Amino acid sequence: MSVFRKVIAPQLTRVTIPPMANDFITLLKITSLASVTSLRELMTNTQAAVSSSFRFAEWYGAAAIYYLILVSIFMLGQSWLERRYVWTSQARGPRSLIRAIGR
Amino acid sequence: MTGHILDEAVIRELAATPGTEYVVEARDVWKRYGTNDVLRGVSLGVHRGDVTAILGPSGSGKSTFLRCLGLLEPIERGEIHLDGARVGVRERRGRFVPLPERLLARQRTDIGMVFQRFNLFPHLTAVGNVMIGLTEVRGMNEPDARATARVMLDRVGLGTRATYYPSELSGGQQQRVAIARALVMRPKVMLFDEPTSALDPELVGEVLTVVQQLADEGMTMIVVTHEMGFARKAANRVVFMDDGQIVEEADPNSFFTNAQSARAKDFLSKILTH
């Protein structure tokens, strides 16, 4: 029936957003560990650039800024989502997400 | 608060039907949790328009009994009848088996239930809470359901709070939303499970006023309560339970002034002294 859609899903989403978003951001940060394998990601490329130019501060600094920007974007998304699930009559933004789940 | 809570047509109908037949009847109901017999053969009949108060110490099975009547708990033995028809089970090859959840849900629509902790949906506004039964169970379209829900909220004195979420309402207001949510389905009987136990003392009155008014309008009600004053004033019958059984059944005045059973006397002496 519509019990899951109308009753359980909204309440369940509310409690799962914070831990899921946290885990997601953690996952993003530890992608840097993939540089010890042969996978070419941000950290691998940074280390390659460092080893060819010997400009440690510049390259690692640039990498740090990239990580900061990426994580900040996801954090904004997280806080937006969390705010959408505060059930008060005042702070109501667009309800599109709840509707998307509701359909 | 406006003049009446129930629809005028319903009030007239209730006044016209003589209360000779049982609206709800429990026959020898047994309920067990694990090895613990919570209800041990409870039988109770409630006539149309009756207001029955169930009293008793904690753990006596009052709330369990109410939940069984409301078809929220399956029972081990016994029968529950609603308006003359047995509910909660169906016949299969000569035996009665519990109904599947979907059919139980349909039978529950005739029973209004109000809980101690309100149990409102936190993600829905007051009007959303009241209308969800109409749209999802009754299949009413949204504008009609919203209008009906608003009328009911207005009658319990919450017309101006319709768009508020439960977290923004006081306990008394939340409980009145819960009462409106139950009433909007036009139940044959209302079951109240300690409706004021979770409220601040100053908020108890506004809820009891609504319940009292429902009683005056002829609604059939069973109220589990610790409000002795309310039981005495609003109820026309008091049922005293202890240890999973009904120990005493009497009209409120004789119960409070002249209880027959030793257990009831003991209970009353403990709560009426302060």
- Chain B residues whose CB is inside 8 A of the A85 CB are 123
Q: pLDDT tens digits for B179-229?
A: 999 999 999 999 999 999 999 999 999 999 999 999 999 999 999 998 898
Output the pLDDT for position B192. Answer: 96
Q: Which of B136, B164, B166 has the CB atom closest to A2's CB atom? A: B136
ipTM of model over 0.95: no
Tell me which chain A residues have a C-beta less than 8 angstroms from the C-beta of B168: 88-89
Q: Is the pLDDT of residue A60 over 80?
A: yes
B143: distance to nearest CA of chain A, Å? 17
> Which among A1, A2, A87 has CB closest to B122?
A87
Question: Could you tell me how many CB contacts below 8 A there are between chain A and chain B?
Answer: 26
B110 min Cα distance to partner chain A (Å): 19
Q: Using CA atoms, how far apart are residues A42 and A40, in angstroms rounded to an integer?
A: 7
User: Does B164 contact A14 at a Cβ distance shorter than 8 Å?
Assistant: no
CA distances A7 to B28, B36, B49, Å, are: 35, 32, 33
Task: For residue A14, report the phi and psi dihedrals to the nearest 5 degrees.
Answer: -60, -45
Enumerate the residues of chain B whose CB falls inside 8 A of the CB of residue A7.
Answer: 121
- Amino acid at position A35, single letter: S
pLDDT at B75: 92
- Altogether, the residues listed in chain B come to a count of 274
Mean pLDDT of the region B236-244? 94
pLDDT at A100 over 50: no
% pLDDT > 70, chain B: 98
Nearest-by-Cβ selection for B123 from A1, A2, A87: A87
Q: Mean pLDDT, to the nearest integer, of A64-71?
A: 95
> Does residue B2 sit in helix, strand or coil?
coil
CB contacts, 8 Å: A11 with chain B: 121-123
**What average pLDDT does range A18-40 have in this prediction?**
90
CA distances for B241 relative to A9, B31, B105, angstroms: 39, 14, 28
Of A2, A11, A89, the CB nearest to B165: A89
- Amino acid letter, B83: D
- At position A92, the amino acid (one-letter code) is R
- pLDDT of A47 > 80? The answer is yes
Q: Which helix (H) or strand (E) holds B269?
A: helix B262-272
Instruction: Give the global pTM.
Output: 0.85
Query: In chain A, which residues have their Cβ closer than 8 Å to the Cβ of B121?
Result: 7, 11
Residues B6 and B214 sit within 8 Å (Cβ to Cβ) = yes
Best CA proximity match to B25, nearest among B80, B68, B70: B80
Q: What percent of chain B has pLDDT over 90?
A: 76
Contact A11 B123 (CB under 8 A): yes
Q: Chain A contact for B123, CB < 8 A?
A: yes
